[in-house]
A and B are shown apart, each in its own frame.
Chain A
Amino acid sequence: MNHSSIIRASALEYVRGVTSGEFTAEEFLSETLSHIEEAEARYNAYLHVEDGQKLLARAREIDRGIKSGQKVGLLAGMPVSIKDNICMRGSRTTCGSRMLEGFVAPYDATAVSRLHAEGGIIVAKANMDEFAMGLTTEFSAYGPSRNPWNTGYVPGGSSGGSAAATAAFECVASLGSDTGGSVRNPASFCSVVGYKPTYGLVSRHGLVSYANSIEQIGPIARTVSDAALVLGVIAGRDEHDDTTADAAAADCGYLEGIEGGIEGMRVGIVDEMTEGADPEVARAVERASKDLEAAGASCERISLDMVGYSVPSYYTITAAEAASNLARYDNLRYGYDLSVDGYEFNSYVAEARGRFGPEVTRRMILGGYVSSAGHAGRYYLKALKVRAKLTREVADAFASSYDILMAPTVPILPFRIGEKSDDPVSLFMVDLNTVTANLTRRPAVSVPYAVSAGGLPIGVQMMADSMQDKTLLRAARALEKRRAPLPEVPD
């Protein structure tokens, strides 16, 4: 492999290359860091790049380990990035917010500990919508990230920095967090793979909370197998997060059987997620279903009535949880310099929270409104009932007929920066196809499938039943193998 192009390696190619001596971890990392320096002016994918000298020292340690035959972990010095709402000890963690400007995390998230334990080298903290509230990365207090396929377009969000960085070879893989599609939507917009695990498969310890009952950390990578490799590293029971599944259920061998194909599987294409989609997007899903049929699956249309109510249910629940979670930002335990002199407690806290951006402010107001005594019955409790009914519908579909549910990841093509940022309800609709997996706690993946006539990526979403993550990855890999070759991301 030519050293000038090694940073384009997939995760599996990286591991093969570095362990076989084709290149060293230091060479790979050095090229990645040089590339980041040049690429960041265009993409603004990262909020903070770690100290290069320290990272290179760690890479040399890995190289010495490989040479002397020691265990260096499954990732063997692979450069990865993490979304800026995931804590890493000693590193800035701002959640894309001025509220946490300069905050340095005092501990590692469990996902970070596991990446480190398997030899991952975390090179940077990725840009994101403030506190993960957004779908475009335009709500970052540090400026929007840009889509590597066309820098005038949004990369999706809220893990837009992670997706843009992975697509632009600024890392081999990245961790995002997915509350309503925040891993899959940017993966679709940037033509990379985004994986939202079954709720409870990956620990949320050290993930800054937004909507605890829904969100999961998930990998973004350039291939399905790469996502499976990273998922295997970060998944599993964690005593710091009681919502994690037990060790047996979270069997971590996600690469095993991934080439097993889709023959005999039944795939339901969800009407409510495909009707009304952009014509180019709808055609891509049709072609994807033909690809899967050619690989031995049977595909048919399915209707899930409650999907039509999933978006208002999702936004009601997440707003209520966000208002509760963000109540911890009183600027006394962490925050920025604002003297308490002359303030009464409530007015101090309110003043300090003036640093929240407009979207976070609105969601806190919304959360207070929908969960307040006068309105909870009409909004919050009803949203929970919709969630329960949707969960029953989806469970029935998997129990009675289907192995996989399929749809466009996002029903529209990527759009220009600024095009929708002033219209929150129009932005909500970008989530139409992704929130169902979050509300029902099912695993889902976005697989890059096509590029539009205008050169914009289109992703296909696949969803499986709870704890059927291996089946889902196998199906996603089958689609990846069958799809027509995709163009390279423009330089």
Chain B
Amino acid sequence: MQPRLITTLAIPQSGLVTEEEIESVSKLVRIKVADHREHVEKVRDMINFFDMLDSAGVEDDELVMDDVPVSRLREDAHESFGGLSGYVRQYRDGYVRVPKMD
């Protein structure tokens, strides 16, 4: 027997997520995907599942954010752990090598 959510709440099937859309988002989040088709079906299923939020009846609710006073935040100070340059993969002569920026 399946949990109630699956049996009683219809999951909308908008099916709007396309391979091109996934390719575009992949570029936005800078992640290389060899074959976008590999992920299309699963991502589409997930997005369709998220469409269930449409029936939650919260459209008119106000979103209240927690304000945290700056005084509660720790001091923005450098904390040395020592030897961190050893963790940088492309380190030479005191400089970090990075790819060229276009």
Q: Which residues of A contact B (CB under 8 A)?
A: 103, 106-107, 239-240, 242, 272, 275-279, 306, 308-309, 311-313, 315-316, 323, 327, 331-340, 343-351, 353-354, 356, 358, 361-362, 364-370, 372, 378-379, 381-386, 388-389, 411-412, 424-425, 428-429, 432
Q: Is the CB of B53 within 8 A of A386?
A: yes
Interface centre among A278, A312, A350, A424 (most CB of B within 10 A): A312
User: A349–B56 contact, CB under 8 A?
Assistant: no
- A315-B50, A369-B47 known; A336-B74 Cβ under 8 A: no
CB-based A-B contact count at 8 angstroms:
183
5 contacts between A and B (CB under 8 A): A313-B56, A365-B29, A386-B56, A389-B56, A429-B5
User: What residues of chain B lie closer than 8 Å to A425, measured between beta carbons?
Assistant: 11, 45-46, 49
Complex Cα spacing A344 to B31, Å: 14
The answer, yes or no, to whether B95 is at the interface (CB within 8 Å) is: no
Q: Which of B1, B39, B98 makes the CB contact (< 8 A) with A345?
A: B98
Residue from B1, B4, B51 in contact with A279 in the complex, judged by beta carbons closer than 8 Å: B1
Taking CB atoms, residues of chain A closer than 8 Å to B42 are: 362, 424
Residues of A within 8 A of B25 (CB): 365, 368-369, 372
Name B's A-contacting residues (CB within 8 A): 1-9, 11, 17, 21-22, 25-34, 38-39, 42-43, 45-47, 49-56, 58-59, 61, 63-64, 68, 72-74, 81-84, 87-90, 96-102
Q: Are A350 and B6 interface neighbours, CB within 8 A?
A: no
- Contact A383/B29 with A365-B43, A425-B45 known, Cβ cut-off 8 Å: no
Docked CA distance A208–B87 (Å): 16
A332 x B98 contact (CB < 8 A):
yes
> Which chain B positions have C-beta within 8 A of A323?
29
A411–B43 Cα distance when bound, in Å, is 24
> Are B3's CB and A429's CB within 8 A?
yes
- In the bound complex, CA of A356 to CA of B68 (Å): 34
Q: A368-B25, A368-B28, A386-B58 are in contact. Are A340 and B99 (CB under 8 A)?
A: yes
Contacts of A429 in B (CB 8 A): 2-3, 5-6
Query: A349 near B30 (CB under 8 angstroms)?
Result: yes
Known contacts A276-B7, A312-B50, A354-B32, A424 near B63 by CB under 8 Å: no
Contacts of B27 in A (CB 8 A): 350
A98→B93 CA distance, assembly (Å): 28
Given the interface contacts A308-B4, A311-B5, A345-B99, does A364 sit within 8 Å of B56 by beta carbon? Answer: no
CB-CB under 8 A from B52, the residues of chain A are: 309, 312
For B36, give the chain A residue with the smallest CB separation.
Answer: A365
A369 neighbours in B (Cβ, 8 Å): 17, 21-22, 25, 43, 47
